[in-house]
Amino acid sequence: MQKVLVTGATGFVGRHLCDLLARRGYQVVGTARSLPAGAGNPGYELHEVADIGADVDWDPILDGVDCVVHLAARVHVMDEQETDPLAAFRRVNVEGTQRLLRSDGMRNVKRCVFLSTVKVHGEATRASPFTVGDTPAPADPYAQSKLEAERCLEGIGSEIGLETVIIRPPLVYGPGVGGNFYRLMKMVSKGVPLPFGRIDNRRSLVGVDNLCDLILECLSNPSASGNRFLVSDNSDVSTAELVRAIASVMGRPARLLPVPQGMLVFAARLLGKSAEAARLTGSLQVDIRDTMRILNWQPPLELSDGVKSAVDWYQEQGKDA
């Protein structure tokens, strides 16, 4: 039985991944910043690691581990309070990753799968989707730190004989999702009119089940080693199409107002919401043909399946109460 360490095990992706690994017969050990209270036995071993920084003692946690999936990170912060955001991101995402990789216990690990972000390529696409071979162009401190962590992984991995795999996902959604996807579900559920009727963008998304399936593939597929992969549901949508898909599952009308994009962007700028508007009105597409070819893999679930799963969770939680 293969033993897998998952850092960030209680996060959005981590919870889904650990459950899937356990169901597939892996021995799972996870780390989290704090252990969830009253959660009972999750079916795998959990260790509390206050922060994925330079001071963590990884060796006891890595005992007997065959593969590592490194999910833990300081993620994009909407209301940044740090005076030096890049330094804050580097402390966790770069120095923390380096500390893990330099641990003596990593020398007995065969492979490390690192969850990066599509944002290392940039914030938006125009003429064509991003491909994994595109020159990186991170536009914010979070993306810059993830790119530096990728390079750290590949450099140290080469030194110690560690097989490395990097996955760069776009927006991940599914049961437990937050952010803009959650807000869209909430507004559609409440019947709030949304100003996206004339938005003709294209966005790549990936359902958390599809992402976790790819991570499992990267743990075992010999062809994964040494590669970087983009991932999506392989079915890009506009924001308006996504709203209609959510509304259809909810059995609610999609109340889409035909507001010109320029007017919407201008209004968002006045409200200090330019970044949020850019994500809802701009395009960000990824080309996953290399991922499918190299791994002989394809997303097992359609985007419609992922949307239904997320909406079902939202409604089961009584989010409108």
Range 244-249, long-range pairs (CB < 8 A, 24+ positions): 245/303, 245/304, 245/307, 246/184, 246/185, 246/188, 246/307, 246/311, 247/188, 249/307, 249/308, 249/311, 249/312
Rounded Cα distance between 142 and 40, Å, is 33
Would you state the structure tokens that stand for residue 246, as one six-digit string?
């959510």
Q: Note if 142 is an active site residue.
A: yes
Active-site residue, selected from the candidate residues 26, 142, 173, 314: 142
Would you state the structure tokens that stand for residue 54, as one six-digit string?
């330079």
Q: Is 181 left (phi over 0), alpha (psi -120 to 50) or beta?
A: alpha
CA 46 to chain centroid, in Å, comes to: 21
SS3 222: helix
Rounded Cα distance between 225 and 237, Å, is 31
Q: How many residues belong to the chain? A: 321
Q: Which residues are catalytic?
A: 142
